[in-house]
Structure 1
Amino acid sequence: MNPIQIGADAPDFTAKDNKNQNVSLSAYRGKKVLLSWHPLAWTPVCTDQMRALETNLENFQNLNTVPLGFSVDSQPCKEAWATALQIKNVSLPADFWPHGKIARDYGIFDETEGVSKRANIIIDENGTVQWIKVYPGEQLPDINEVLQVLSSSK
């Protein structure tokens, strides 16, 4: 399975987040959206990846971007994890059921492991995939690289 291509229309989705709210891509038209995918909650690299979203929230807002921290974990798991990490502002949607459907739609579901790959996908204000990077599972994505891509496409 290959990742979604730059220039493709981003598949819409609706998923429950850590606050038990429905999150839909189409609700963010007019803003950029960062889909920051991590394989599983409660693991060290994933923890650092999601904390970087929360820490840089103001930077994202200044770049008209909504960061979303996705994984295939269940909504209650994402809720407990966000509480433990003190993530209060960033939405952490759960791609739990149908299991990994959103990750599959974006071509980043690992069928062998049953989780998403670690990836960052930027969707522009019109719902088009603007940038994608898939990382080795153990590699922490460079948040500054993501912010640089966002700022260069203002």
Structure 2
Amino acid sequence: MAEIIQLGAMAPDFALQDQNGEVVTLSQFKGKKVLLSWHPLAFTSVCTDQMRSLDRNANRFEEKNTIVLGLSVDPQPSKSVWARALSLKNIRILSDFVPLGEVARDYGIFNEEHGASKRANILINETGMVIWVKKYEIRTLPDVEEVLGKM
């Protein structure tokens, strides 16, 4: 199994659809920090709490020049329904579905056993370099205050 991406590495670019069907690339955010907040699967309790917490705190991330992207291997139509069900208004959630988990694999956080990503936060600086990485146990909700403290 691949190792999680290392600090100081250049973050691999990607092109994934968000909940609205719009293509999002990492490179479109040059000049801003980007938080890639990985959750294993939509419609599960911890993943729901993780995305809602990020959405509620979106303005605090914006004040720190940071774009928040939630990612999982769920198909785009599922992400669309889930975003509406959660009333997500401020963050984009991306589908790493085709090919399954390709971006999660590029970042070293794909869980082959479960066919989904692990739970992780990866912070990328304004030039595309990884500056913070944290993997969480599957049932652990990432602390948004800890994440904000890394900005």
More strand by share: 2
Matches within 5 A, 1:1-154: 1-150=2-151
Structure 2, unmatched stretches of 5+, are none
1:89 to partner: Cα distance: 2.1
Amino acid at match of 1:110: N
1:53 to partner: Cα distance: 0.9
Amino acid at match of 1:50: M
Q: Deviations over 1:68-116 (max 9, x none)?
A: 0000000000000000000022100000001000000000000111000
1:145 to partner: Cα distance: 0.2
1:2 to partner: Cα distance: 1.1
Moved over 6 A (4+): none
- SS of equivalent residue, structure 1 residue 23: strand
Amino acid at match of 1:134: K
Alpha-carbon distance in structure 2 between the residues aligned to 1:51 and 1:101: 25
Amino acid at match of 2:24: V
Alpha-carbon distance in structure 2 between the residues aligned to 1:103 and 1:132: 13
- SS of equivalent residue, structure 2 residue 90: coil
- Name the TM-score, length of structure 2 as normaliser: 0.99
- Name the TM-score, length of structure 1 as normaliser: 0.97
Amino acid at match of 1:40: L
- Measured on the aligned residues, the alpha-carbon RMSD in Å equals 0.4
Alpha-carbon distance in structure 2 between the residues aligned to 1:70 and 1:132: 15
Structure 1, unmatched stretches of 5+, are none
Amino acid at match of 1:130: I
- SS of equivalent residue, structure 1 residue 50: helix
